[in-house]
Amino acid sequence: MRKLRLLLVNPNIVMKKEHVHMGIAMVGSWVRHHSDHEVKILDFMATPTRGWKRKLKKTLQEYKPDLVAMYLSTPYFPAAKDVATEIKRHVQVPLVGGGHHATLATEDVLGCPAFDWALEGDGEIPMLALLNALAAGESVDSVPGLWRRDGDKIVQPTPKAKLLPPCEMVAVDWSVFDRDILEANFYIWGILPVTASRGCPAKCSFCSMTEIQKRYPGERYLRYRDPIKVVEEIQADYDRYKSMGLRTIQFTDLNFLINRKWVEKFAAEYIRVGLHKKLPYSAFTRPDHVTAENLALLRESGCVNLRVGIEAANDWQRNKIYNKGISQERLEEGLRLMKESGISITGYFMAGGPGERPEWLVQSLELAHDFSVDFPVFFLYKPLADSEVLDKAAELGSSIRPEALEEASDLLHGISMEHEHLKPWQVKAFVLMTHIAFGTQFVWWQIQRERLSWFTDFATFVLRTAKMGFTPYGSFTYFVFYAGDHLVEPYLAKASDKPSIGWKALRALAKAVLPHSGIEDPT
């Protein structure tokens, strides 16, 4: 069987830049570990927007891939189609799409002529099977999880793809990325993503994971890797990349605190090898999963930041529309416990989702202030393929804007929905307002701590990232959150019994921009 060249592409050519992508890194590492096929990742993280076509052409000409695979997400799919079309202009090799959009919107993917196939579910085993079939000159019909065309028809895969068992997951080989990408990643973010588990038992109506797990009845969707091996891999990566600027581990697990015994074993091992003193980490959790005991364990083992999906302060919106399943009492208790632990909170809120009302946005603003959420991040809602909440949109008085499906957008740009009680400009104004108001607080804290060096470091950061295609606002955002020790020693907001003049002014402005809809909340 001949050796093939696989090119994995992350089509991040517009809008918000992102750190090294875990999904394609895991697929590339699996192929390398289990075969002699060559693997390369093409990432446009450090490429100016106008330069992506040149970089793509150069990579295709020099690497000469036999198969190109691309990660596909719903918000970025319009950009992915542009990249796919450009690939076919230069090489006539098979192109396959994977990721949650390929899994949930297969017909949408194969409706783009540039894509030959679509892979559903976990990509490791199907990708290697596809490479081996191509290398042996065999039919790809038996590749698990591979959707394909047969004339005008789209043919479902036989057999279906199965979930990858946790014992078979391999350590990520970050050398699948070019060195300049790794250097840019560590300079800007200072992080490596780590995945210790896959899947999520929650049923959030806006999330693609809720729909994906329905595709695997009878299989264990939430899967955990061995915590000892996870720590071994982190130690190896720290030794390998600390000289390049690795400062923090960022767990991509959707709910880090679900399995108490796993967390205890991980924390004990992380402390035993001394990483808790050298390499702090950040993790996702839900407010209803925190306890005083597990927060103390996280703090002791080096956790400096928890990324918490709050979504909405309004109880009806959070639970009846978004299906979070977190009571108001438990939400507030969880936030109080996290504040008491001394671990910084990045609180994620959504703005502009189905059924959104102006007074609900004001309530989220008030919650972020009242509980001193350290980093309140208000993201613009993005409709994900086949997500349950879209079925409710019409009855809630909302609809997807046609242009939202035609233009790639990230979580900070682009209004996706029209609302009966809310105008697009109001959503934009609200999100901008929150970024300015809360951002000013921790920028001022950083300046007081770092003084003149903050300005010189910021100037250097902006100049360097501008060459990579970052906008001034993007550079500012990443500098404040990630540069230097900003995440290693994060800002901690202080609670105050007396509302400040600034907060009173912000609240008044928010209520002026977002007057009450006049509708009573359902009970």
Q: Which of 104-113, 343-352, 477-486, 489-498 has the lowest mean pLDDT?
A: 489-498
What per-residue confidence (pLDDT) applies to 17?
Answer: 81
List strand residue ranges (DSSP E) for 243-292, in order. Answer: 248-251, 281-285
Residue 296: exposure state from Cβ atoms within 10 A (0-12, 13-18, ≥19):
middle
What per-residue confidence (pLDDT) applies to 426?
Answer: 98
Dihedral over Cα of 194, 197, 201, 207: its sign: positive
So what's the architecture of 180-510 in CATH?
A: Alpha-Beta Horseshoe (3.80)
Dihedral over Cα of 435, 441, 444, 450: its sign: negative
Pairing mode, strands 417-419 and 5-10: unpaired
> Given a cut of 80, is residue 523 above it in pLDDT?
no
The CA distance from 430 to 440, in Å, is 15
Dihedral over Cα of 357, 362, 366, 369: its sign: positive
The CA distance from 68 to 50, in Å, is 22
> Given a cut of 70, is residue 267 above it in pLDDT?
yes
Burial letters 20-37, b for 16+ CB under 10 A, else e: bbbbbbbbbbbbbeebeb
Q: Which of 101-115, 238-252, 370-384, 483-497 has the lowest mean pLDDT?
A: 483-497
Mean pLDDT over 413-437 rounds to 95
| C-alpha to C-alpha distances, 201 to 197, 207, 212, 223, nearest whole angstrom | 12, 12, 11, 10
Q: What is the mean pLDDT of the chain?
A: 95
Q: Report, in this order, helix, strand and coil percent for the chain, each rounded to 5.
A: 45, 15, 40
> Given a cut of 70, is residue 197 above it in pLDDT?
yes
Q: Tell me the CB-side half-sphere exposure of residue 86, using CA atoms within 13 A.
A: 21
What per-residue confidence (pLDDT) applies to 408?
Answer: 87
Mean pLDDT over 87-104 rounds to 97
Tokens representing 335 are: 């936030």
Mean pLDDT over 67-86 rounds to 96
**What is the CATH number assigned to the segment(s) 5-155?**
3.40.50.2300
Mean pLDDT over 310-335 rounds to 98
> Given a cut of 90, is residue 34 above it in pLDDT?
yes
For residue 159, is the peptide bond before it cis, meaning its omega torsion is within 30 degrees of 0? yes
> Given a cut of 90, is residue 242 above it in pLDDT?
yes
Tokens representing 500 are: 């400040």
What per-residue confidence (pLDDT) applies to 407?
Answer: 86
Query: Residue 209 — very low, low, confident or very high, per pLDDT cuts 50/70/90?
Result: very high
What per-residue confidence (pLDDT) applies to 349?
Answer: 98
For the chain, which residues make up each domain, given as ranges? Answer: 5-155, 180-510
Query: Residue 159 — very low, low, confident or very high, per pLDDT cuts 50/70/90?
Result: confident
Query: Residue 15 — very low, low, confident or very high, per pLDDT cuts 50/70/90?
Result: low
Write out the H or E segment, with its range, that includes residue 467: none
Mean pLDDT over 51-77 rounds to 97
Residue with more model confidence, 491 or 160: 491
